[in-house]
Amino acid sequence: MKKHFLFLFAAAMLLSACKEIAPAVTGSMGGDNTENPVEDQLRQVIIEEFTGVRCVQCPAGSATIQDLLGQHGERLVAVSIHAGGFSPPYPASEYDFRTAEGDQLINYLDPPFSFPSAVVNRKLYPGQTDRQLDQGDWAGFIASELAIAPKVRINIEPDFASSSRELKAKVTLYVDEAITDPDVRLSLMITESDIKDLQLVPSSSTPIPDYTHRHVLRGMLTNYDGDQLTETLSDGSVIEKSFSFTMPADWDENHCEIVAVVSLAGTNKDVLQAHQVHVVE
């Protein structure tokens, strides 16, 4: 019996080993409000959240994204895509946030395992089985993406005519490092924030009417997976693209943003750079 407990003691010693040095945690240290002008543009990361007005847990995901935006400022771009089983509006909903592009993007970027769920820079990260990430992985992968220097910088010049509601956007890409991937695409999205409408939340058995929806994908000026860039993306090249679009009357231009994304296509869908500006400055 004594021998048995010697084994036990040895095993316990091996398992416990020495005291470890744990990493420091500070909690939120406030936001990064510094501007990120195109001349010295650092890496900007896009988080595409999949959500729905019938998804009771999704407001927690949206709140997390607000905290991340507060932390990273202009360097984080958020898009909330209403797609999937929780996205059909209620009969009393004022808006239907679903879009044809959103329905395609949820399949293009892998359907979520659970909600809330988001894709960060459309990347399949090591140790993950698909692009969709649970909340606990958002902050870490955003931080790791922000540390990478961008290969391309993006500038967007919006021009909105309130009388005709025509939105023109000139997108300029500055290539800082040759991109040799065979299929590179530019996506242009319109998002809208501060929309009050029904949303299911944990504190109520019925949807609340005055929930503030943010960064809602309203439409795209390109294909859902972007328009292919046919130009040579050599170091130093500058590519200009122009878009025009008539905004529907029920979109509030004062709360709309234009989001530009340069990404790869095919098996590797990684985003190289993202950028966002207000429709009306």
Partner 1 sequence: MIPRFWLPILLLMLSFQAATAQEADNEKENTNQGRISGNLQLNGNFFMRDSLIGAANTPQYDRQLFGADSWLNLNYQNWGFDVGIRFDMFNNSNLLNPLGSFTGVGIGRWYVSKKINKLGITGGYIYDIIGSGIIFRAYEERALAIDQALYGIKTTYDLGENWKIKGFVGRQKQQFSSYSSVIRGGSIDGFVGSDSSKVTLAPGFGVVARTLDDNSMNNLVATLNTYSKADVVEMFPDTLGKEGPNYNAYAASFYNTLTAGPFTWYLEAALKSKEVIFDPFAKRYTVSGDTVLGRYVNKPGSVLYTSLSFAKKGLGLTVEGKRTENFDFRTRPQELGVRGLMHYIPPMTRMNTYRLLARYAAATQFIGEQAFQVDASYKVNKKLNLTANFSNITNLDGDQLYREILAEAYYKYQKKWTLTTGVQLQDYNLEVYFGKPGAAPAKTITPYFDFLYKFNPKTSIRFESQYMIMSEEHGELSDYGSWVFGLVEFTLAPHWAVTVSDMYNRDPGKASPIDPKTGEQAKIHYPRFDVYYTHKANRLSISYVKQVQGVVCSGGVCRLEPAFSGVKMSINSTF
Kindly tell me which of 20 and 35 has the beta carbon lying closer to partner 1.
Answer: 20
Helix axes 135-146, 58-72, angle to 10 degrees: 20
Q: Show Cβ contacts of residue 123 under 8 Å, excluding neighbours closer than 6 positions.
A: 131, 141, 145, 269, 270, 271
Nearer to partner 1, 61 or 158 (CB): 61
- Taking the complex as a whole, how short is the minimal distance between the CB of residue 81 and partner 1, in angstroms? 14
Burial class (CB in 10 A: 0-12, 13-18, 19+), 17: exposed
Of the residues 95, 97, 138, 160, which one makes contact with partner 1 according to CB under 8 A? 138
Q: In the complex, what is the shortest distance from the CB of residue 6 to partner 1, in angstroms, rounded to a whole number?
A: 10
User: CB 51 → partner 1: shortest distance, Å?
Assistant: 14
Neighbours of 194 (CB within 10 A): 12
6-45 binders of partner 1 (CB under 8 A): 7-8, 11-12, 14-17, 20-29
234 burial via Cβ count (<10 Å: 0-12, 13-18, 19+): exposed
Residues within window 175-204 making contact with partner 1, judged by CB under 8 A: 200-204
Binding mask 101-120 for partner 1 (x = CB under 8 A): ------x--xxxxx------
Q: Smallest distance from the beta carbon of 32 to partner 1, in angstroms? A: 12
Structural contact between residues 53 and 159, judged by C-beta atoms closer than 8 angstroms: no
Closest listed residue to residue 105, CA positions, set 149, 46, 161, 57: 46
Q: Smaller CB distance to partner 1: residue 2 or 230?
A: 2
Contact 78, 142 (CB under 8 A): no
- Residue 3 as a binder of partner 1 (CB under 8 A): the answer is yes
Helix (H, G, I), strand (E, B) or coil at 267: coil
Cα–Cα distance for residue pair 55/25, rounded to 1 Å: 31
**Smallest separation (angstroms) from partner 1 to the CB of 209:** 15
According to CB under 8 A, which residues from 47 to 86 bind partner 1? Answer: 56-57, 59-60, 63-64, 66-68, 70-71, 84-85
- Which residues neighbour 247 within 8 Å (Cβ) at sequence distance 6 or greater? 160, 165, 166, 167, 190, 253, 256, 279
Nearest approach, Cβ of residue 3 and partner 1 (Å): 7
Q: Establish if 97 lies at the interface with partner 1 (CB under 8 A).
A: no
Of the pair 78, 190, the CB lying nearest partner 1 is at 78
CB-based contacts of 63, cutoff 8 Å, min separation 6: none
User: Contact residues for partner 1 (CB under 8 A)?
Assistant: 3-4, 7-8, 11-12, 14-17, 20-29, 56-57, 59-60, 63-64, 66-68, 70-71, 84-85, 107, 110-114, 126-127, 129-130, 134-144, 200-206
